A = this chain, B = another copy of it.
Amino acid sequence: MSSAHRIATVNKYVEAFARKDIGLIRQIFADNATVEDPVGTDVHKGIAAISAFYEGSFGADARLSLTGPVRCAGNAAAFAFEVHVAGMKIEVIDVFEFDAAGKVVSMKAYWGQENISQ
């Protein structure tokens, strides 16, 4: 799929947090998608588990802002951003992999203790 579609999907993902709109999350992810956030922890499998995960984030009033351009390569898009939640700033890099239908089929979030500040 086009880079333009992938960049638009990342922007829709940021917008989903701003609006707390789980409907946008359901548009973005494939039914069989996986979400690993952060990498190395339990994987959320399938749209029901993924929706529950993001509802938790939205409930915590997490807000995202990109800190650089979306990088598109192969079937993927990678992007760096800050999350502001619960008085903290967390600096994260996400990698989305897309399926042939243009849905995100794999999301991996890279962040650790060193990336959390007050």
Give the dominant DSSP class at A's interface. Answer: mixed
Name A3's contact: one of B71, B72, B74, B114 (CB within 8 Å).
B114
Q: Which of A73, A77, A110 gathers the greatest number of chain B CB atoms within 10 Å?
A: A73
A111 partner residues in chain B, CB cutoff 8 A? 71, 73
Q: Is B74's CB under 8 angstroms from A39's CB?
A: yes
Contact with B along A13-56 (1 / 0, CB 8 A): 00000000000000000000000001111000000000000000
CA distance A92 to B71 in the complex (A): 7
Q: Which residue of B lies closest to A82 (CB)?
A: B68
Would you list which residues of chain A between 71 and 110 have a CB under 8 Å from chain B?
71-80, 91-93, 95, 109-110
Q: Which of B69, B74, B78, B91 makes the CB contact (< 8 A) with A69?
A: B91
10 contacts across the A-B interface (CB closer than 8 A): A3-B112, A39-B73, A39-B74, A69-B91, A71-B92, A71-B111, A71-B112, A72-B110, A72-B115, A79-B93
